Copies of this chain bind each other. A is one copy, B any other.
Amino acid sequence: MIRISLDLMGGDFGPQVVIPGAAKALERHPDISFAFYGLKEQCDPVLANFPKLRDKSVFHDCELAVRMDEKPSQALRRGRYVSTMWRSIEAVKTGEADVAVSAGNTGALMAMSKFCLRTMANIERPAIAAIWPTLRGESIVLDVGATIGADAQQLMDFALMGGAMARALFDLERPTVGLLNVGVEEVKGQDEVKEAGRLLREAGIESLEYSGFVEGNDIGKGTVDVVVTEGFSGNIALKTAEGTAKQISTLLREAMSRTLMARIGYLLAKSAFDLLREKMDPSKVNGGVFLGLNGIVIKSHGGANAEGIAAAIEVGYDMAKNGLNQKIENDLKKYHAKRLPPIGPEAA
């Protein structure tokens, strides 16, 4: 049984979309058990439409919901201990849940997760990892916006955590890891990125294969399983790719409705278009994973539909089932043990 605590009030549509999403996930994975955190009067009418889901889940009525536009500090002040968001995270801390899922405000969710769960030993800053559809399947890109800027050691931690996530999610033994840079030559790029490249080359980590620098166009190619970057450029890469995909689909739709011949052609090729849409559908790969905390938290896109919410829940399900955090902790321990050999009186 995988126990998932779900913030029913998150996202642009709240329980109207989150509850149907949970129902979809439960249908596909009957071994999920949900703990719901919501405002009763808003959730009850929706839950009434999903009696099977409602009967298999535990509902916790909460005092308030964090707003989508609330600043992280404000959300913490107002919502700590009492909000649906906080309490779904807290269930992971107390061990009542294996993973928390929320479509709420990213900044608030990260602030509360850090405050409630704390970062792992040896991890200075958590990261948000995105699952990115590529020509070869899927890759992991991190950090996509948890923090701005990162030094070489932090990039190294991102590589270790992303590698562990790739093992948990893609069932790879030794995922390939690349550092996002502006050129593949060793001379280019930011000092931190160059230094992180040196660390990764020299560390000889068993759990991943360092493939060197990659560029923006390598992400979509699927050149490596894990792309490591600091949160500013990672977020810009993610949003730019989303924007480009949307731009092309808009242009394609316009072009396909312009002439009668094109409209007929579209109808004949509809299954092909549907396949393409399926492959590029952001809701199919929805779910940013917060890495580096003492517990797993999944952030769904705020604008996700029920299918998107289900996808985010399933990412959490996979992560918990495959022991993501144990994998990360083991990898970090091995790396840091090598890096700082226990000498002096503390080692006795």
Contacts and interface: CB of A to CB of B under 8 A. Distances in A.
Interface string A5-34: 000000000000000000000000000000
Nearest to A217: B243
A39 to B, nearest CB: 25
A220 to B, nearest CB: 4
Interface residues of A, number: 60
Q: How would you classify the secondary structure of chain A's contact residues: helix, strand, loop or mixed?
A: helix
Contacts of A266: 265, 269, 272
B251 A276 contact: yes
A276 B255 contact: yes
A148 B229 CA distance: 15
Copies in the complex: 2
Interface stretch (A89-97, A234-242, A293-301, A338-346): A234-242
A246 B258 contact: no
Contact of A250 (B135, B189, B216, B275): B135
A236 B239 contact: no
Nearest to A144: B182
A173 interface: no
A262 B236 CA distance: 35
Given A182-B235, A239-B215, A247 B272 contact: no
Given A220-B247, A261-B271, A265-B272, 7 more contacts: A182-B236, A216-B236, A216-B241, A220-B240, A262-B269, A265-B265, A265-B268
Nearest 6 interchain pairs by C-beta = A265-B269, A216-B239, A265-B268, A217-B243, A216-B240, A220-B243
Interface of A: 71, 134-135, 145, 148-149, 180, 182, 185, 187, 189-190, 215-221, 229, 231-233, 235-248, 250-252, 255-256, 258-259, 261-262, 264-273, 275-276, 279-280
10 contacts: A190-B232, A217-B239, A219-B240, A220-B243, A221-B246, A232-B233, A233-B233, A237-B240, A262-B271, A264-B265
